[in-house]
Amino acid sequence: MNTLTFIELAKILISFAICAPSGHNSQPWKFQTTENQIIVMPDMSKTLKVVDGENRELFISLGCAVENMQIAATQYGYESDYEYIDGKIVVTFRQSENVTPDPLFDQIKKRHTHRGEFTGKKIPSDLIKILQSVEKEQNTDFAIFDGETNEAKLIKEKIYLGNNIQMSDTAFKNELVEWMRFNKKDIKENQNGLCYNVLGFPATPKFVGKKMVRMFLSPKAQNKTDNGVNNSASAFCLFSTAAKSEADYIAVGKTLERVLLKITELNLAYSFSNQPCEVEPLSLKLREELNLTNYPSVVIRIGYGDEPKHFAPREKIEL
């Protein structure tokens, strides 16, 4: 039986929780503990007011963090459940001799967002079926489309249209640049954000990096980049929610994280392309054109890719 105190266990579980993905690697979470609970709360100082004005991606990130935490708990003989109460996610843990360790645990710290183009290699149908069998949380769904299908073409079309809108928006570009980290000192001071080495950029002084990035942020440049990535991806996966609610966003985050961990386990790669969900008119149009009952929440591209040279940093969590 596990001999850790709960506060010791909580620190371990939170170290896995914060490996979750988040918009701009903003890591918008805070944690509290009780005698058998970890309370996960949004850090509203890290909201992305332009790209995520309704905090959809923020609460999806919290759901991803909770999923990691609950998966990790099984390694220590704990079962758990969660409730969303008054803006907080309360995760309750119980020691049990009947807990089976979740095999996705080993993927939590290996999971990463692929940067750049995929290899172009097609994913075998048996692996797609494995991904499609991942358990979904209530009120969530996801569908995987081969990259050559009409559904994938509709998604790609909305990605390009989203770039046209976002990359023409000065506020969007300013917010994006503020979350970029341009050198080792910048990374060390923040331990979050979009880091130059993860993105594959050379290190530069911050003022130089900001100026250079702003010069190259344009619809044409972004669409050229996304065209290469889209055409090299084997499939697209669209996650959706039954309602536009914080509770459903948390639930879809849990579903998303399990899919991302399964992708990692299968030695596949993925990247996010959420423009069709971030721009409201495009999201509504995509829902209509795909005949969805649910609301589009997250888009990922799936394929084969190289292992990263650098991982995005994580902030130190104090309890």
Q: Are 242 and 159 in contact (CB under 8 A)?
A: no
Phi and psi of 309, rounded to 5°? Answer: -85, -25
pLDDT at 303 exceeding the cut of 90: yes
Alpha carbons within 13 angstroms on the beta-carbon side of residue 232 total 18
Q: Quick count: other Cβ atoms within 10 Å of Cβ 81? A: 10
Tens of pLDDT, residue by residue over 153-199, are: 999 999 999 999 999 999 999 999 999 999 999 999 999 999 999 99
CA–CA gap between residue 300 and residue 243 (Å, rounded): 20
CB contact set of 113 (below 8 Å; sequence gap of 6+): 21, 270, 271, 272, 312
Phi and psi of 269, rounded to 5°? Answer: -130, 160
Which pLDDT belongs to residue 318? 78
Q: Domain residues of the chain, as ranges?
A: 6-107, 168-217
Say if domain 6-107 classifies as CATH 3.30.70.141.
Answer: no
Strands, E, within 106-204: which ranges?
140-146, 180-181, 194-195
Confidence of residue 15 (pLDDT cuts 50, 70, 90): very high
- State the average pLDDT over residues 196-206: 94
